[in-house]
Amino acid sequence: MQSLLQETQFLMNKYHIKANKALGQNFLINEEIVEQIIESAEITQEDLVIEIGPGLGTLTKELLQKAGKVICIELDKKMIKILNERFFLYRNFEILNQDVLKVDLKELIKKEKQEGKIKQVKIVANLPYYITTPIMMKLLEEQLEIESITVMIQKEVADRLIATPGEKETGAITYTVYYYATAQGVIEAQNNAFIPEPEVTSKVITLKIRKNPPVEVKDKEVMFRIIKCAFMQRRKTLMNALVNAKVFLNKEEAIQILKEIGLPENIRAEKLTLQDFANIANKIF
């Protein structure tokens, strides 16, 4: 049997493919990692899987065996030709030659669900790293009707996404993920799990979308704006960052509000839980 490395090299030679760095093309060649991605996505015949950036089709091939339907979204025309030739026999395969950031995923999912054959939607991808954050934000903020997101991304970003707010390695995005999902790490992938090798270590994570948010907040947009302001000046105390950003009118107001919700004046943004930010947002609302 051909190894994944041999299969990938064969396809690259056959179609004269040189990985396009600008499109974040690093093809997976490690069988164990592929297996782990597929396993942790828990795919069934009732699922529609949306795969972002299928590339040569390494994950696609496995997804097609498990899912009711697979819709791939790939920007690179060269890959579209390869994928169509590889998978045209599969009746559950569909491909869109588009930039994932421009696809109306809400509409796409609505249409697929209306047809009645699929019950749940899961996102699976070895993401193009140059747009990891905008893709993750889109998947979460558009509040799509999806069950889970299983993705390979840079380890450093992965650790920030799956961190618990108020603990280590957090950023503004940690709070967004936590609000919309529960997240966990699956497996790390060293550089040699891909060709060409990326410059960073990678990690697979799974996000399960929450049915209900973990905190009550009158206006979540206000809360997320406050979080962004707080982390833009994360070296400053929360109070100074939020006064500078005009979230609080002045120091006196800041001191008053922090006192009312039981936070010390000198606390820094990364020490706050999501509930703390929700409390501030509710006071300001």
Shortest Cβ distance from residue 167 to ligand SAM (Å)?
A: 29
H or E element at residue 5: helix 4-14
Please choose, out of 46-54, 208-216, 226-234, 242-250, the segment that lies near ligand SAM by the rule CB under 6 A.
46-54
Q: In this structure, are residues 48 and 148 in contact, taking their beta carbons and an 8 Å threshold?
A: no
Q: Judged by CB under 6 A, does residue 28 bind ligand SAM?
A: yes
Shortest Cβ distance from residue 99 to ligand SAM (Å)?
A: 4
Tokens of 170: 């957090």
Closest alpha carbon to 178 in 226, 140, 144, 149: 140
Q: What does the DSSP assignment read for 127-191? A: --GGGHHHHHHHHHHTT-S-SEEEEEEEHHHHHHHHSPTTSSS--HHHHHHHHHEEEEEEEEE-G
Q: What does the DSSP assignment read for 75-133? A: --HHHHHHHHHHHTT-TTEEEE-S-GGGS-HHHHHHHHHHTSS--EEEEEEE--GGGHH
Tell me the C-alpha distance between 188 and 200, whole Å: 11
Shortest Cβ distance from residue 115 to ligand SAM (Å)?
A: 24
Q: Judged by CB under 6 A, does residue 62 bind ligand SAM?
A: no
- Rounded to the nearest 5°, which phi and psi values hold at 89? -80, -20
- What number of helices (H) and strands (E) belong to the chain? 12, 9
Shortest Cβ distance from residue 97 to ligand SAM (Å)?
A: 9
Which of 11, 43, 48, 58 is the binder for ligand SAM (CB under 6 A)?
Answer: 58
- Output DSSP code: residue 250: S
Footprint on residues 129-158 left by ligand SAM (CB under 6 A): 131
Which of 54, 122, 176, 178 is the binder for ligand SAM (CB under 6 A)?
Answer: 54
Q: Judged by CB under 6 A, does residue 70 bind ligand SAM?
A: no
Which of 107/115 has CB closer to ligand SAM? 107
Shortest Cβ distance from residue 23 to ligand SAM (Å)?
A: 4
Q: Please report the sign of the dihedral spanned by the C-alpha atoms of residue 3, residue 81, residue 122, residue 46.
A: negative
Tell me the C-alpha distance between 90 and 50, whole Å: 15
Q: Judged by CB under 6 A, does residue 15 bind ligand SAM?
A: no
Tokens of 24: 């974040």
3-class DSSP state of 254:
helix
Shortest Cβ distance from residue 252 to ligand SAM (Å)?
A: 47
Q: Judged by CB under 6 A, does residue 75 bind ligand SAM?
A: yes
Shortest Cβ distance from residue 210 to ligand SAM (Å)?
A: 26
Which of 17, 62, 92, 128 is the binder for ligand SAM (CB under 6 A)?
Answer: 128
Which of 33, 79, 118, 269 is the binder for ligand SAM (CB under 6 A)?
Answer: 79
Q: Judged by CB under 6 A, does residue 126 bind ligand SAM?
A: yes
Mask for 84-103, x = binds ligand SAM (CB under 6 A): ---------------xxx--
- Residues contributing to the site for ligand SAM (CB under 6 A): 23-28, 52-56, 58-59, 73-76, 79, 99-101, 126, 128, 131
